[in-house]
């Protein structure tokens, strides 16, 4: 999801979205699932670098005198009309990425917009039920079994596991990606540099490697994903 590619271009003059029924918990969960791959939003733990940084976008909007309700309206409008305000790369002249149409719709779109407006550049952490919404943080250690190490893609820009362990020797590393966003599995370190095919929608990215004892990194090699934190440590014994 790519939002706010030039807030000044699409700012809603005098138009504020107000809905007392907004569900921030649902909005955060959907944002983490569908938007965090592309955007940075600190409260949601999102570190995407493909689309605009939503914390910075709000700070610019605030300096321009916009309130959070107006910012919510801008986000909602861009979700519903993702091509509105589309821009070209100033260096190449090629169109910049635009988020897919209908990534969220109806009340879900309003909930996402409401959460972004609530969370953008707001100090502190989410509390209560909102703190638990979305999940997405990698946890635990993936362990190789029968010569195969499985490290599935999790929620947002993350694998399900924080790190991994495997015995030395021949190893197949695979990563199932149920997201619509492209991901793969790659490994480097100790003279090894292997990248699996990029896959989406239930596809499996895999690589075959011969590893010596030591520490390696597994990561997603899609542009911007590793920099946004989609990586972990692989210990080979």
State pTM to two decimals.
0.63
Residue 182 vs residues 132, 198, 219: alpha-carbon distances, Å: 26, 6, 13
Measured distance CA(111)–CA(18) in Å, rounded: 11
User: Are 103 and 145 found together in one domain?
Assistant: no
- Residue 167 falls inside a structural domain: yes
pLDDT at position 88: 60
In this prediction, residue 116 carries a pLDDT of 96
Q: Which domain holds residue 157?
A: 141-236
For residue 42, give the CATH number of its domain: 1.10.760.10
Tell me the CATH number at 156.
Answer: 2.60.40.420
Residue 12 CB partners (closer than 8 Å, separation 6+): 70, 73, 74, 77
Q: How many residues does the chain have?
A: 237
Query: 194, exposed or middle or buried, with CB in 10 Å at 0-12, 13-18, 19+?
Result: middle
Q: Please check whether residues 85 and 179 belong to one and the same domain.
A: no
Query: Is the domain of 118 the same as that of 151?
Result: no
For residues 122 and 153, state if they share a domain: no
Tell me the percentage of the chain whose pLDDT exceeds 70: 84
Q: How far apart are CA 119 and CA 201, in angstroms?
A: 29
For the chain, list the strands marked E by DSSP.
40-41, 46-47, 141-143, 148-150, 163-166, 169-177, 186-189, 192-195, 203-211, 214-219, 231-236
Q: Are residues 232 and 172 in the same domain?
A: yes
Angle formed at CA 146 by CA 144 and CA 147, multiple of 5 degrees: 65
Least confident range of 52-61, 74-83, 166-175, 181-190? 74-83
| Range from 14-18, 183-187, 233-237 carrying the lowest mean pLDDT | 14-18
Residue 2: inside a domain, yes or no? no
pLDDT band of residue 97 (cuts 50, 70, 90) is low
When pLDDT is cut at 50, 70 and 90, the band that residue 7 belongs to is: very low
Whether residue 88 lies inside any domain: the answer is: yes
Helix/strand/coil for 120: coil
pLDDT at 12 over 60: no
Q: Residues 36, 109: one domain?
A: yes
* Confidence category of residue 196, pLDDT binned at 50, 70, 90: very high
CA-based angle 218:224:230, to the nearest 5?
A: 35
Q: What is the pLDDT of residues 130-148, one digit of tens each?
A: 887 876 678 899 999 999 9
Residue 127 counted as domain residue: yes
For residue 5, pLDDT beyond 60: no
CA–CA dist 145, 184 (Å, integer):
20
Picking from 87, 115, 132, the residue at the C-terminal end of a domain is 132
Residue 160 and residue 44 in one domain: no
Phi, then psi, of 209 in degrees rounded to 5: -135, 160
What does each C-alpha distance from 185 to 34, 55, 152, 172 come to in angstroms? 20, 29, 9, 11
Query: Last residue of a domain, which of 94, 115, 132?
Result: 132
121 and 76 within one domain: yes
The reply to whether 200 falls in a domain is yes
Whole-angstrom distance, CA of residue 37 vs CA of residue 179? 10
Counted domains in the chain:
2
**Which domain-ending residue is among 77, 102, 132?**
132
CA distance 125 to 45: 10
Co-location of 81 and 155 in the same domain:
no
């Amino acid at each position: 999801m790519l939002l706010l590619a030039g807030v000044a271009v699409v700012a809603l003059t005098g138009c504020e979205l107000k809905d007392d029924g907004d569900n921030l918990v649902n909005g955060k969960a959907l944002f983490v699932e569908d938007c965090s791959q592309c955007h940075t939003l600190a409260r949601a733990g999102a570190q995407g670098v493909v689309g605009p940084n939503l914390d910075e976008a709000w700070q610019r909007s605030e300096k321009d005198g916009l309130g959070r309700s107006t910012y919510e309206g801008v986000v909602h409008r861009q979700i519903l009309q993702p091509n509105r305000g589309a821009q070209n790369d100033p260096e190449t002249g090629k169109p910049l990425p635009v988020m897919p149409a209908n990534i969220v719709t109806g009340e879900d779109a309003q909930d996402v917009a409401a959460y972004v407006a609530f969370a953008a550049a707001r100090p502190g952490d989410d509390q209560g039920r909102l703190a638990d919404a979305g999940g997405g943080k990698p946890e635990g250690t993936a362990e190789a079994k029968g010569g195969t190490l499985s490290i599935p893609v999790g929620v947002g820009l993350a694998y399900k596991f924080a790190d991994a362990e495997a015995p030395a020797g021949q190893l197949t590393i695979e990563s199932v990606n149920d997201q619509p966003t492209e991901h793969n599995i790659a490994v480097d370190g100790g003279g090894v540099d292997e990248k699996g095919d990029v896959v989406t929608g239930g596809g499996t990215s895999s690589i075959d490697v011969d590893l010596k004892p030591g520490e390696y990194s597994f990561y997603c090699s899609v542009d911007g994903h590793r920099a946004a934190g989609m990586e972990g440590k692989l210990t080979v014994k």
